[in-house]
Amino acid sequence: MLNNNDTSYETAAEADTAHLMAGRQITLDEIAVELAAIELRLRQIARAAETPATPVELEPMIDSLRSKAGQLREIGEEAGKLARIVEGDVPLATKFSGSGDPWGTAARGTDREDFGGPAVVPTARQLIHLAHGARMPGAETTTYPQAMAGVRVIWESKAAQARRRKERDAAVEVEVLELECETCHVSSGERCVTKNGRVSERPHTKRLREAEANVDARLGYLGDNPVAVPGVD
């Protein structure tokens, strides 16, 4: 089964993202515009594929291209809405409907336990929900810049954290083999062995702990959490 979150097929070219943004980090407006361009490109390819140079019926491919273009349009439209929201063009409810929980700066220090805890940094879905809530009669409203004033967060998405965690774990595997094992006394470059001399893919804890400490010091990790976020001051 296809896993859309699988990163095993990625290449080094994927990290070349500077051309997508004017600044150091991509904006929601830039995301929306880029997605619209990709959507158009897919529709153009689908149109051109109706009359290919070689007589081959490509209807399933054409339908798939147009379907994916439609999906991109939906994502792009959402990014466009979010761009307007974060710029302050769209009123937002000051609290979530139903629970009455605050968000942004007002959520600091609160004890919200549901839905992942206090929404100091709201999700895209939460912002759309808050925009809808602002249209309710009698709703108290704010804007994203107002609600987030004073929030200084060195932040990256869950997807970025998962990617960095995978890279960190891969680096630890390499680092383990750079070290000798004080438990089973194998040399660097060799895998740990059991008491009976059988090779194991799992290193002894002390060797693993030392490898993790070395890698975490290089990459900027504290325990399981990335501390240094690349490209963010």
Q: Are residues 78 and 116 in the same domain?
A: no
* Residue that finishes a domain, picked among 37, 65, 86: 86
Q: What is the C-alpha to C-alpha distance for residues 163 and 24, in angstroms, rounded to an integer? A: 19
Residue 3 lies in a domain: no
Task: Please give the Cα distance from 25 to 233 (Å, whole number).
Answer: 11
Q: Does 50 reside within a domain?
A: yes
In terms of domains, do 117 and 169 share one? no
Same-domain check for residues 166 and 197: yes
Cα distances (Å, whole numbers) of residue 192 to 173, 187, 196, 215? 12, 9, 11, 19
Q: Which domain holds residue 110?
A: 92-147
118 and 74, same structural domain?
no
Task: Choose one of 64, 86, 108: the last residue of a domain.
Answer: 86
Residue 2 CB-half CA count within 13 A: 2
User: Are 124 and 77 in a shared domain?
Assistant: no
In 46-131, beta strands by DSSP E: 92-93
**38 belongs to a structural domain:** yes
Identify whether 100 is part of a domain: yes
What pLDDT tens digit does each residue of the chain (233 aa) get?
445 555 556 677 888 899 999 998 899 999 999 999 999 999 999 999 999 999 999 999 999 999 999 999 999 999 999 999 999 999 999 999 878 889 998 988 776 655 556 778 888 999 999 999 999 999 999 999 999 998 766 566 778 778 888 889 999 999 999 999 999 999 999 999 999 999 999 999 999 999 999 998 888 765 555 544 444 44
